[in-house]
């Protein structure tokens, strides 16, 4: 029964790769039971095969040549964990064309080249799986491919980046400013030395492209997703958000419209009592709205080596099970819809404006006119004195729903008004 032996080739032995290798060794019996055959680590691509390593991978399996993994006839499944677009994309292509199943955690590759790779995999009868690419250990890809398959999905609202959620949590709960919160995240290893991909929203946009493709059965170019990071947020914004009953989160949003999909990643005000507002620290949460299943939410830690290993090993087991049973079950992308991403100018939402204004009578009238001229009407305003000597005040405005193009136009106009000292911030509201 446990006769079959499934050969694994690992590309990359960094933090996640080491966690996967560790589990392959330490959980060998459990994994063999689940797969119906044993999983054996045959080859591991590393930068330096001679570097001493803390885990007990046999030195003879280490190689610094990718071709030794990709062409090893004993390797049935290639696990790609080197990250980045190149050469990961090419390695995955090679693995597929030489008849090896592939497991990857690479969001950038799957967001940018998922369609081509899945098509290539289908052509070669290969299973290409990528559960770890979004939400790490939180089951998502497979629920989208399988459990929600009968649904028409209308919207996804998600916290897909643990680093930024950690920073926002510290800013909200402890009143830290952005640089301090980022610094602490870096010290704790939650943010990288170069945190751009996380804090600018690029990472979340890749993940949103992957989920949206599964949800809406269409290809989307992640570069077309509107993306705005969290570095402009200030302590005051969190205070005003709370006063109005909101929390501030970096959300990845996708909403089905007629022949398009609204897709965007940016900070939003969301009602304090909403499920997503309560997601704190490095946790991720993905809320999916659909016709049959209603609102379903998935919540868990979206980062960490063992979290990713959980998803990578799940994919590996699914493939290994099929190999042991001699069946070939692959996922076929149903990308028959040709949907465009809705232009950002056309989206409609509510807005929060924070302005530093002259503290005179008539100022609000000028500001409401600048907004009204662009079809934006105010739902509430609070004014706080901030500098009595300079006769300046802070004006916080919440609007009714309006089109983004109007909001952008009024931002420009507000900037030209002499009574406006500064347009301090502008944040979208998501109910």
CB of 150 to a copy of itself, least distance (A): 3
Question: Which residue lies nearer to a copy of itself by CB, 266 or 307?
Answer: 307
Question: Which residue lies nearer to a copy of itself by CB, 183 or 321?
Answer: 321
The interface mask with a copy of itself, positions 325-364, x = CB under 8 A, is x-xxx--x-x-x----------------------------
131 sits near a copy of itself (criterion: CB under 8 A): yes
Question: Which residue lies nearer to a copy of itself by CB, 113 or 217?
Answer: 217
291 sits near a copy of itself (criterion: CB under 8 A): yes
Considering only residues 215 through 244, tell me which ones interact with a copy of itself, judged by CB under 8 A. Answer: 217
CB of 47 to a copy of itself, least distance (A): 26
Question: Which residue lies nearer to a copy of itself by CB, 335 or 371?
Answer: 335
Q: How far is CA 150 from CA 62, 147, 216, in A?
A: 44, 8, 12
Strands 62-63 and 38-45: parallel
Question: Which residue lies nearer to a copy of itself by CB, 148 or 358?
Answer: 148
56 sits near a copy of itself (criterion: CB under 8 A): no
Q: Are 70 and 98 in contact (CB under 8 A)?
A: yes
* 416 CB burial (10 A radius; 0-12, 13-18, 19+): exposed
Q: How far apart are the C-alpha atoms of 407 and 428, rounded to whole Å?
A: 10
Q: Which stretch binds a copy of itself (CB under 8 A): 194-202, 226-234, 260-268, 306-314?
A: 306-314
For 313, the enclosing helix (H) or strand (E) is helix 305-325
Render 155-224 in DSSP notation, one character per residue.
EEEEE--HHHHHHHHHHHHH---HHHHHHHHHHTTSS-SS-HHHHTSHHHHHHHHHHHHHHHTS---GGG
Q: Which residues are bridge partners to 243 per DSSP?
A: none
Q: How far apart are the C-alpha atoms of 219 and 252, rounded to whole Å?
A: 17
Q: Which stretch binds a copy of itself (CB under 8 A): 60-68, 102-110, 138-146, 366-374?
A: 138-146
Q: Which stretch binds a copy of itself (CB under 8 A): 68-76, 109-117, 307-315, 381-389?
A: 307-315
Angle at 211 between CA 35 and CA 315, to 5 degrees: 10
150 sits near a copy of itself (criterion: CB under 8 A): yes
Q: Where are the beta strands (DSSP E) in 323-406?
A: 340-341, 348-358, 378-387, 392-399, 402-403
Q: How far apart are the C-alpha atoms of 325 and 37, rounded to whole Å?
A: 9
The interface mask with a copy of itself, positions 259-278, x = CB under 8 A, is ----------------x--x
CA nearest to 363, candidates 392, 387, 402, 399: 392
313 sits near a copy of itself (criterion: CB under 8 A): yes
152 sits near a copy of itself (criterion: CB under 8 A): yes
The interface mask with a copy of itself, positions 10-49, x = CB under 8 A, is -------------x---x--xx-xx-x-------------
Q: Which stretch binds a copy of itself (CB under 8 A): 148-156, 251-259, 360-368, 422-430?
A: 148-156
Q: Which stretch binds a copy of itself (CB under 8 A): 150-158, 244-252, 264-272, 350-358?
A: 150-158
Question: Which residue lies nearer to a copy of itself by CB, 136 or 424?
Answer: 136
CA nearest to 37, candidates 60, 8, 68, 80: 8
> Count of residues binding a copy of itself (CB under 8 A)?
54
Q: How far apart are the C-alpha atoms of 177 and 27, rounded to whole Å?
A: 43
Quote the tokens at residue 189: 């290893």
139 sits near a copy of itself (criterion: CB under 8 A): yes
Output helix, strand, coil percentages for the chain, rounded to the nearest 5.
40, 25, 35
Q: How far apart are the C-alpha atoms of 47 and 374, rounded to whole Å?
A: 56
- Active-site residue, from 207, 249, 255, 342: 207
Q: How far apart are the C-alpha atoms of 177 and 68, rounded to whole Å?
A: 49
CA nearest to 208, candidates 129, 288, 143, 279: 288
Q: Which stretch binds a copy of itself (CB under 8 A): 197-205, 240-248, 299-307, 390-398?
A: 299-307
369 is catalytic: no
Q: How far apart are the C-alpha atoms of 355 and 117, rounded to whole Å?
A: 48
Question: Which residue lies nearer to a copy of itself by CB, 213 or 424?
Answer: 213
Positions touching a copy of itself (CB under 8 A) are 23, 27, 30-31, 33-34, 36, 131, 137-139, 142-143, 146-152, 217, 275, 278, 290-301, 304, 306-307, 309-311, 313-314, 316-318, 322, 325, 327-329, 332, 334, 336
Catalytic residue ranges: 207
């Amino acid at each position: 029964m446990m006769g079959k032996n499934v050969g694994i080739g690992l590309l990359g032995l960094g933090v996640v790769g080491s966690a996967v290798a560790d589990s392959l060794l330490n959980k060998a019996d459990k994994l063999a039971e689940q797969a119906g055959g044993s999983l054996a680590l045959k080859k591991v691509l590393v930068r330096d095969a001679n570097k001493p390593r803390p885990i007990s991978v046999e030195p003879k399996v280490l190689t610094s040549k990718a071709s030794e993994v990709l062409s090893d006839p004993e390797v049935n499944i290639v696990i790609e964990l080197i990250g980045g677009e190149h050469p990961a994309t090419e390695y995955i292509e090679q693995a597929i064309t030489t008849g090896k199943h592939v497991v990857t955690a690479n969001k950038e590759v799957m967001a940018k080249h998922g369609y081509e790779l899945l098509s290539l995999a289908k052509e070669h009868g290969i299973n290409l799986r990528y559960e770890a690419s979004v939400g790490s250990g939180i089951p998502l890809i497979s629920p989208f491919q399988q459990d929600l398959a009968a649904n028409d999905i209308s919207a996804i609202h998600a916290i897909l980046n643990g680093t930024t959620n950690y920073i926002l949590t510290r800013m909200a709960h402890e009143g830290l400013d952005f640089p301090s919160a980022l610094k602490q995240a870096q010290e704790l290893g939650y943010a990288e030395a170069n945190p751009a991909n996380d804090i600018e929203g690029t990472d979340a946009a890749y993940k949103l492209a992957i989920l949206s493709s599964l949800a809406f059965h269409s290809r989307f170019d992640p570069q077309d997703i509107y993306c705005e990071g969290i570095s402009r947020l200030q302590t005051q914004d969190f205070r005003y958000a709370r006063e109005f009953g909101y929390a501030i989160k970096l959300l990845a949003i996708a909403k089905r419209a007629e022949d398009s999909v609204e897709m965007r990643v940016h900070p939003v005000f969301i009602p304090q009592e909403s499920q997503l507002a309560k997601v704190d620290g490095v946790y991720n949460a993905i809320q999916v709205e659909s016709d049959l299943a209603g609102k379903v939410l998935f919540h868990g830690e979206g980062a960490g080596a063992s979290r990713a290993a959980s998803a990578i090993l799940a994919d590996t087991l699914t493939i290994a099970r099929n190999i042991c049973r001699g069946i070939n079950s692959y996922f076929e992308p149903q990308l028959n819809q040709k949907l465009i991403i809705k232009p950002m100018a056309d989206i409609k939402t509510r807005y929060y404006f924070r302005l530093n204004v002259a503290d005179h009578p008539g100022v609000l009238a000028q500001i409401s006119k600048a907004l009204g001229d662009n079809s934006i009407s105010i739902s509430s305003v609070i004014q706080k004195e901030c500098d009595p000597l300079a006769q300046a005040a802070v004006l916080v405005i919440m609007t009714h729903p309006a089109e983004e193009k109007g909001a952008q136009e009024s931002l420009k106009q507000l900037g030209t008004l002499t009574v406006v000292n500064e347009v301090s911030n502008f944040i979208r509201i998501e109910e």
